[in-house]
Structure 1
């Protein structure tokens, strides 16, 4: 593979074996926003499927189902009418992505709390983070070490307003300790930190990722790897690297929709060079 050298997480990448079936490859859920805000969840779901999750299901409010259904093929769709119904549908999922265009407010905070009771690892992005801006401790109380927060700097400041002044790496490390979860702080040099003190800086960032929806794709990729039972810190590191490599390979003109479609070539090259 041309470009940046391969990092060490490749040794734990969840390649399927001869006896693998779709349920063994993990079950990923992605929570959609309302009917006018479904694109982000569809991007995340497709990315999760491309990265190898065996089964992906979009979970949506009832008004969004008719909008989403025509846009899905291998990805399944289930609607929910209450936080309790969402939790019921998410039971049995290995991971759930919540936040991309989910809407900022009580509905998202209530849905997230319900999901935290299901045992699925959570990947929390965008509106799922901003919804807790004024009471971040209530978010941290329901997290565990398998969960992943994926803020850009603006979202990071909403949850950790006192930390960025100490530098991105130290800020991410303290945020992970405070939240009790993995934190992926997006930027030109994305920082990934685990609550046990592990920290990494992604070294192959590219400016082509400065495009709407790219973060939704990254959240779906992390969710897809966590669904395959990859360690959440390694999953976040791997997804950040693969995400950037997919954008680098496509180059000028890349948009978020292109990223999942660029992953097979990146994964094929990685597979050929596996240990």
Structure 2
């Protein structure tokens, strides 16, 4: 059953979505990059980037190691693949190329298929540094991007202004992050609704989607009363919509892709990009300053609905590629009618 609170939050998410309009040019509805794809992992960056494309972004770039890039190019010609993360190249060369690519993006997703070897982790560290310097860019962190955050939390700290970062840890990734930040009095045995805000505060108020039976979303701050039907104050949002009964590798990658697109749309809405199509920047400061929270909630809802549809359609045979094919129909059910 859809509660009034859930419907209210989804109506706020819907405000960020630009219409499909001839008045917008290619790229204004989202330019998303995925940094990952090591020699062993080519599926994850594909699912993240193609999930973003199916969700509705205009352009998706995959920044990866050459071996993975050669494979990803065979999956789809719709993706722009940059094979620049070559271990034979110097970090200075990789930084220069990354700087050029990132300057074209609204959002960078760090982690899908990244792997944990020193070279790929160093490439991710460079990407974090460049994103921090670009005040127009948002970042979503998943998978082995979270491994880097766990080992070096400084990569997501001391960002200027409102943190433009969303972390998407699963149960084990969240536990490891809590253990790393134990010096901040985070007791990993506590309830999720307490732990998620504490961890977000320890990481300087970035936004966390704590994935689980119920998704807990928090930036560690008091969420504005505008977000609640009864105008209460709380430190977290809770998404408990029904999902599918089967968990397959790659579902989290689709979550990172959809989160990235909503972050791109929300950020461009705040900047006034969509004013020519009847979407002036938000008058509410509470909305303008909490785009990551709205993007996280909308993506959580979407991925739960997607998982449910995949399970209903394929049952035990469900694989992540089935979910990619369902992204469009599920999107229309949740967010349709944004046309002019």
TM-score normalised to structure 2 length? 0.73
**What CA distance in whole angstroms lies between the structure 2 residues aligned with 1:115 and 1:229?**
22
Do the aligned partners of 1:218 and 1:243 also contact (CA within 8 Å) in 2? Answer: yes
Which 10-residue stretch deviates more, 211-220 or 142-151?
142-151
Do the aligned partners of 1:38 and 1:68 also contact (CA within 8 Å) in 2? Answer: yes
CA RMSD, aligned part only?
2.2
Matched, 1:172 2:173: no
Partner in structure 2 of residue 236 of structure 1: 296
CA spacing shift, 1:205–1:176, aligned 2, 3 Å: farther
Matched, 1:100 2:112: yes
Partner in structure 2 of residue 123 of structure 1: 140
Cα distance, 1:217 vs structure 2? 1.1
Give the structure with higher Rg (CA): 2
Partner in structure 1 of residue 88 of structure 2: none
**What CA distance in whole angstroms lies between the structure 1 residues aligned with 2:260 and 2:248?**
20
Cα distance, 1:90 vs structure 2? 1.6
Matched, 1:15 2:18: yes
Partner in structure 1 of residue 328 of structure 2: 264
Do the aligned partners of 1:29 and 1:96 also contact (CA within 8 Å) in 2? Answer: yes
Do the aligned partners of 1:52 and 1:225 also contact (CA within 8 Å) in 2? Answer: no
**What CA distance in whole angstroms lies between the structure 2 residues aligned with 1:56 and 1:212?**
21
**What CA distance in whole angstroms lies between the structure 1 residues aligned with 2:214 and 2:120?**
29
**What CA distance in whole angstroms lies between the structure 2 residues aligned with 1:87 and 1:157?**
33
Do the aligned partners of 2:149 and 2:156 also contact (CA within 8 Å) in 1? Answer: no
Report the 3-state secondary structure (helix = DSSP H, G, I; strand = E; otherwise coil) of the residue aligned with 1:208: coil
Deviations 1:37-92 (A, max 9, x none): 11000000011111111111111122322211111222211121444022332222
Residue 48 (structure 1) aligned to one of 34, 38, 52: 52
**What CA distance in whole angstroms lies between the structure 2 residues aligned with 1:271 and 1:221?**
12
CA spacing shift, 1:33–1:22, aligned 2, 3 Å: same
Report the 3-state secondary structure (helix = DSSP H, G, I; strand = E; otherwise coil) of the residue aligned with 1:22: coil
CA spacing shift, 1:258–1:103, aligned 2, 3 Å: same
Partner in structure 1 of residue 183 of structure 2: none
Cα distance, 1:195 vs structure 2? 4.0
Cα distance, 1:165 vs structure 2? 1.8
Do the aligned partners of 2:16 and 2:265 also contact (CA within 8 Å) in 1? Answer: no
Partner in structure 2 of residue 159 of structure 1: 177
Aligned residue pairs: how many? 271
Which 10-residue stretch deviates more, 202-211 or 53-62?
202-211
**What CA distance in whole angstroms lies between the structure 2 residues aligned with 1:265 and 1:272?**
9
Do the aligned partners of 1:123 and 1:223 also contact (CA within 8 Å) in 2? Answer: yes
Cα distance, 1:105 vs structure 2? 4.0
Partner in structure 1 of residue 33 of structure 2: 29
Unaligned runs of 5+ in 1: none
Do the aligned partners of 2:255 and 2:300 also contact (CA within 8 Å) in 1? Answer: yes
